[in-house]
Amino acid sequence: MFSNSLTLKGKIRKLLSQCKTIIFNSLNINRNIYLYKKWKNLDFPKQKNVIIIANGPSFNKELAEAILSKRKFFDIAVMNNYFLNNYSNKIIPNYYVLSDPEHVQTQSDKQTKLNETLKKFILDNNIKLFAPNEKRWEQFQKSFIPFNDFQNLSSNNIDPRKPRGYTSNTGFKTLALMLALNYEKIYVVGLDFDYPRKIMLDESNQIYLKREHSYGDVKDNLSHEFDSVGHALNWWSENYWHLRKLKSKKIINVTDKSMIDAFKRLSIDNFIKDMEELK
């Protein structure tokens, strides 16, 4: 179950977790030096702009075709299960961002097979991988680009070399990574992040969430993760709050329905028009 910071026990657990992160990060000098060296020697992008493709349902055929038609003008960053959508074999990304432990360690036979397909997609297309600074990610790519995946919510840090000051979400991490690569403009599509609209209760007050992605939908029972609607909404509330630490004039949220208010918005129609005008 996700920690419930509405309760005294949850607040204490959260405080102890942050103290542990701060202490561990301070003591782990070798890791810190390694990350600084790795990022110092990183080749910076040749393109000025990047498009981040998140996996929300608003990333559709129309958007994909607009991006594909002007592919040479942008670098592309993707995440998680992007390889499952219908456009992945046409829009080959420059960067793939992973951080979910399920991609490296799982008890599910189905997930194990998906991980093998994901690994093949990354390696066959020579895509640069960003992943937490842990050796277990070497199974996807020996020379992946590491980032610090520890969390310290008491800070405002978005530097990938230090514990992040925002909650764990691969889309958020991708935004931070592209900011660190110093792109002039960062367009993000498919980052709907509208979970509060999609929670529901059954007749016995079991909490469900309709998860909608560009590659399909599922209905998940979240009662083993959240003990109440209040707990679930508080969890997402923290996500929206900490996401504002990534606020930047460089980031443009291409959306009509996203609940994210931290970034400048651009309608999908206007984004497509902008793509058409590129020469």
H/E stretch holding 61: helix 61-69
Which tokens sit at 239?
A: 């996500």
- In degrees and rounded to multiples of 5, residue 243 shows phi and psi of -60, -25
In 125-137, which positions are buried (b, 16+ CB within 10 angstroms) versus exposed (e)? eebbbbbbbeeeb
Q: What is the mean pLDDT of the chain?
A: 91
H/E stretch holding 210: strand 207-213
With CA atoms as reference, report the closest residue to 266 among 278, 252, 277: 252
The length of the chain is: 279
Q: How far apart are CA 105 and CA 136, in angstroms?
A: 9
pLDDT above 80 (res 18): no
pTM across the whole model: 0.90
The confidence score (pLDDT) of residue 33 equals: 86
* Residue in the block written with tokens 């979400």: 169
With CA atoms as reference, report the closest residue to 229 among 259, 203, 204, 201: 201
Mean pLDDT of the region 140-157: 92
Q: What would the pLDDT profile of 202-242 be if each residue is shown by its tens digit?
A: 999 999 999 999 998 989 999 988 989 999 999 999 999 99
Angle CA 15–20–26, to nearest 5: 130
Looking at per-residue pLDDT, the higher value among 25 and 114 belongs to 114
When computed from its CA atoms, the radius of gyration of the chain, rounded to whole angstroms, is 19
pLDDT band at 12 (very low <50, low <70, confident <90, very high): confident
- For the chain, what is the largest distance between any 2 Cα atoms, rounded to a whole number of angstroms? 58
Q: HSE on the CB side for 139, CA within 13 Å?
A: 12
